[in-house]
Amino acid sequence: MALLTLSNIHVRYGSVEVLHGIDLHVDEGEIVTILGANGAGKSTTLLSISGLVRPCEGEIIFDGKPLLKYPSHEVVNLGIAQSPEGRRVFGVLTVLENLRLGAFTVGDKEKAEQTLDWIFDLFPRLHERKDQLAGTLSGGEQQMLAIGRALMGQPKLLLLDEPSLGLAPLLVKSIFETIRAINQSGVTILIVEQNARAALKLATRGYVLELGRVVMEDTAAHLLANPSIQEAYLGA
């Protein structure tokens, strides 16, 4: 069953249209990836789902509800969390304070504490550093914190924008393993990732965006085996 459906989404920045009618869906429990060159519109697609960018045309249905009728701060309450590109943690707050901020929409304090324990299980590094100022963490740790903070809101759908950007190869492997574990615990995931091969190995399905349009949609296995995808995105 589709948890999220985008139909004919158009987005403009000023007078320039950058998404020209995106159709995509994410079923409950899936990991779906969006591939595409720089500027293809991947981040804009995620931002239009989280409500930070307003499409000028089209419809987004999430969990049966028309998302575009809700203001962006309510989108979080509906169960969508985005871990943004570039991390954006609060550097002058501790790791624990950053994580607690992510739970501000959660009324049930006991549930929030359980979620915190779960996040510390997923990212033991964050537990070790819970009292450290976020600004003093390494890039990889800040990335973990950004994902952890998004999870504190107990989302049904997690939007990840370039989670492996700038990370050392060993950390990249570990962040992908953690994303799989997050999904196995029941969170549906839509991920944009420059490391297309790793994203396709993780995902069930993928979409290819070119210049603001979906040009291909297939299972991750088919995309991995497709010579034109290999040439364009997998460095083959």
The residues of the shown chain that bind ligand ATP, judged by CB under 6 A, are 13, 18, 36, 38-44
- Residue pair 6/67 in contact (Cβ under 8 Å)? The answer is no
Considering the complex, state which of residue 107 and residue 235 has its C-beta at the smaller distance from ligand ATP.
Answer: 235
- Shortest Cβ distance from residue 47 to ligand ATP (Å)? 7
Nearer to ligand ATP, 36 or 206 (CB): 36
Contact (Cβ atoms closer than 8 angstroms) between residue 2 and residue 25? yes
Closest CB 94 distance from ligand ATP, rounded Å: 30
User: Distance (Å, rounded) from C-alpha 85 to C-alpha 57?
Assistant: 25
Tally helices (H) and strands (E) across the chain: 10, 10
Q: How far apart are CB 120 and ligand ATP at their closest, in Å? A: 31
Least distance from ligand ATP to the Cβ atom of residue 13, Å: 3
Least distance CB 96 / ligand ATP (angstroms): 31
Strands 65-66 and 57-62: antiparallel
* Tokens, residue 63: 């969990």
| Closer by beta carbon to ligand ATP, 39 or else 139 | 39
3-state secondary structure (DSSP) of residue 87: coil
127 or 213, CB closer to ligand ATP? Answer: 213
- For residues 75 and 137, which CB has a smaller minimum distance to ligand ATP in the complex? 75
Distance CA 131, CA 96 (A): 6
Q: Enter the DSSP assignment of 94.
A: B
Is the CB of 34 or the CB of 171 nearer to ligand ATP?
34
**Closest distance of CB 150 from ligand ATP, Å:** 18
CA gap 182, 99 in Å, rounded: 16
On whether the CB atoms of residues 53 and 220 are closer than 8 A, the answer is no
Contact by Cβ (8 Å): 203, 188: no
Q: Which residues of 201-219 are buried (b: 16+ CB within 10 A; e: fewer)?
A: ebbbbbbbbeebebeeebe
